[in-house]
Structure 1
Amino acid sequence: MRSFTYRSRCSGEVRVLVNYPHADELSKLLDKYTSCMIITPSSVSSLVNFSKCPRIIIKDGEEGKGIETVLNIIKQSMDNSLDRSGVMIGIGGGSTLDVTGFAAAVYMRGVDYVNVPTTTLAMVDAALGGKTGVNAAGLKNIIGVVKQPSEIIVDLAFIKSLPASNYLDGFAEVLKYGVTMDKGLFDKLSSNVDKVMNRDEGLLEDLIYGSLVNKAHVVEADEYDTLGIRIVLNYGHTIGHALESASGFSISHGKAVGLGMICESTIGVKLGYTNPDIPGYLTESLSELNLIQSIKVNADSALRAITGDKKRNGGFLNLPIVTELGDWVKVRVKVDEYLRLVKESCMYLA
């Protein structure tokens, strides 16, 4: 069991608990609140070992991430007398936590919320940071706010039930933290793949804790993504998101980000910033974690997605570029130049 806190300019201290039983911690937490609601998808509800709060069951994944889901959460919260001194508790993957955070931000002008991530990806990434978003008008994450959870409870017991592919998907994000900010974390993951495959609890605690500490440092420094520091969390995502979109989301997020990191590091080499060994380090580690997928997507679709990337500023993209393992710089690249480099460097465009 390990814990730490990070500070939010708006919300004060956020407590992060790694490898704590969720039921025990939620019981302690409720002493601070007058009422509570649990928001969880149907696939997870049977694993939630806590009955002291009413439950709202939502759909899994993107299906449950629409503005209609938020309106349903608000109605059921009102029906169950959740007041402004109450708390919403999201228990699920990243989509569930996004919806819970957004609903908490707008319900009665804001109530506290707690994140209990149940997937590896949510444990190392989505649970921390405060970015919430829901889909509307056919657009992904078009409505959202930044609101930090009051507490994050990572219960490793949820990992036991994850299918192998779902379990491994989150380790692309762990590699991202390592290659950009923390060489020790990168080395620990890369040299202990056998333990990862066996779901070794001690190693998982170390990797998840290290990932969250790294992300928390970035969030503290640039909570509202205005200083150009938080873009490091998007390493591999400019191309990764484009691959997801162009493939019709037939590739998982972790695998898309993994391929994105390989391509972005290759571009970094061509631009003269990145150590030429970095693409090979990433390829080897991702391959050992079964996070390399053979895929071909339509080049025009992928390039259109990159053109619309949120890091675009006029005719330029502001991008995080790795220099050495554990170090990065922000680079401003012309959009047209970047698209040319993507076409040259990414072998999975057809």
Structure 2
Amino acid sequence: MREFTYKSRDGNVEVLINANHGDALEKISGKYTGCVAFVSRSIANRVKVKCPVVPIIDGEEGKSIETALSIVRNAHEIGIDRDGLFIGVGGGSVLDVVGFSASIYLRGVDYVNVPTTMLSMVDASLGGKTGVNALGLKNVIGVIRQPRYIIIDLSFLESLPMPSYIDGFAEVIKYGITMDRELLSQVMNNPDKLLGRDYEVLEEIIYRSLINKASIVEKDELDRGVIRAVLNYGHTVGHAIESVSNFSISHGRAVALGMICEARIGVKLGYTLRDVPGLLVDALTRFNLVNRVTIDANGLVNAMMRDKKRSGGFIKLPVVIDVGRWDLVRVRIEDLTKLVTEECRSTP
């Protein structure tokens, strides 16, 4: 087992990797006056915790203000007080809504994230961004509040369908290409073991991914500076690809295609070394994350115009310089529109 701690404005966050979630939760919950576990209904029978277990809807359908209100109601009926604990067990959508609910219940109680997908293990579980969808908008209601503990139990990955499992490696490769050359090398050198869900290699890969993300979160917890922008690499175009495809392209694959496109744009802008796009294609292809698709360039541009990083006539775009090096650049909307049309019409 690997573990580390990162600092937040509300105190330290303890991260346990390759831990037994039942054992860890038993120790943690003993520190509180009571606890309740809100669990993805698809895995409710696999959760080992000595607390009331409340199954909730997972996926975007369950990431709503109605679900948050239901969580608050359940916690109140169970008798959770301000010294009680919420436990979220599931993928990113479950962790988002449980974390948000913990943040508003009695003006805030501690919560634990127990991610059960590869994507949530390396991304959504750490960082403190919580929220729900409303008014037809994604994450329009939310707060930044860190979990008190993050428990990564690799046994949850055993039953995860392969397409969902490999989705998480887009985020791992993102950390590697932007911040950690050694991580990228480890991923590219061990595709068979990683695809075979080898615990020893997975533990190291997840550990390095989360260490990288935690180092960014510590420096810019509230996402008001510059440095946290690196976590959005590939997401400006990736989110637009998801939208244009009506979400038929998964998040991991959309981010993979977004990284390739943004690397090509970086080359055209004169920031990115010419071999970076090819290296990304190579790494992502090893995990079957590169779909050959033709994208409606006009639709892609229109979706990007709604990006939250747009400011006036510019979009702030994190750009990789070389493996492990990046910068944040302001790109004119008209220039980005032209480059997206030229470089992102088809992939790879």
TM-score by length of 1: 0.98
Q: 1:76 aligns with which of 65, 71, 74?
A: 74
CA distance in 2, matches of 1:261, 1:107: 38
Q: 2:287 aligns with which of 282, 286, 289?
A: 289
Deviation track 1:127-172 (CA, whole Å, cap 9, x = no partner) reads: 0000011011111110000000000000001011111111111000
Aligned length: 347
Contact 2:296-2:345 within 8 A present in 1 as well: no
CA distance in 2, matches of 1:346, 1:297: 7
TM-score by length of 2: 0.98
CA positional deviation for 1:32: 1.1
CA positional deviation for 1:252: 0.7
User: Equivalent residue for 2:8?
Assistant: 8
The one-letter code matched in structure 2 to 1:48 is V
Contact 2:183-2:208 within 8 A present in 1 as well: yes
SS of the residue corresponding to residue 132 of structure 1 reads: strand
- Correspondence 1:293-312 to 2 at 5 A: 293-312=291-310
Q: 1:103 aligns with which of 101, 104, 115?
A: 101
CA distance in 2, matches of 1:43, 1:251: 22
User: Equivalent residue for 1:131?
Assistant: 129
CA distance in 2, matches of 1:53, 1:335: 51
Q: Which blocks of at least 5 consecutive residues in structure 1 are unaligned?
A: none
CA distance in 2, matches of 1:47, 1:347: 43
Deviation track 1:269-318 (CA, whole Å, cap 9, x = no partner) reads: 00111010000011011111010112233323221111111111111111
Q: 2:159 aligns with which of 121, 146, 161?
A: 161
CA distance in 2, matches of 1:301, 1:240: 13
CA distance in 1, matches of 2:278, 2:201: 24
The one-letter code matched in structure 2 to 1:80 is I
CA distance in 2, matches of 1:22, 1:2: 14
Is 1:268 equivalent to 2:266 in the alignment?
A: yes
CA distance in 2, matches of 1:342, 1:284: 21
The one-letter code matched in structure 2 to 1:229 is I
CA positional deviation for 1:174: 0.3
The one-letter code matched in structure 1 to 2:7 is R
CA positional deviation for 1:101: 0.6
CA distance in 2, matches of 1:278, 1:229: 21
CA distance in 2, matches of 1:104, 1:79: 15
CA distance in 1, matches of 2:293, 2:72: 41
User: Equivalent residue for 2:28?
Assistant: 29
User: Equivalent residue for 1:54?
Assistant: 52
CA distance in 2, matches of 1:22, 1:41: 15
CA positional deviation for 1:266: 0.4
CA positional deviation for 1:197: 1.4
User: Equivalent residue for 1:193?
Assistant: 191
Moved more, 170-179 or 28-37: 28-37
CA distance in 1, matches of 2:75, 2:152: 24
User: Equivalent residue for 1:94?
Assistant: 92
CA positional deviation for 1:49: 2.0
User: Equivalent residue for 1:44?
Assistant: 43
CA distance in 1, matches of 2:283, 2:73: 46
CA distance in 2, matches of 1:270, 1:297: 20
User: Equivalent residue for 2:311?
Assistant: 313
User: Equivalent residue for 1:18?
Assistant: 17
CA positional deviation for 1:42: 1.0
State the superposition RMSD in angstroms. Answer: 1.0
CA positional deviation for 1:44: 1.5
The one-letter code matched in structure 2 to 1:99 is V
CA distance in 2, matches of 1:77, 1:203: 38
SS of the residue corresponding to residue 25 of structure 2 reads: helix
The one-letter code matched in structure 1 to 2:6 is Y
SS of the residue corresponding to residue 346 of structure 2 reads: coil
Q: Which blocks of at least 5 consecutive residues in structure 2 are unaligned?
A: none
CA distance in 1, matches of 2:35, 2:212: 30
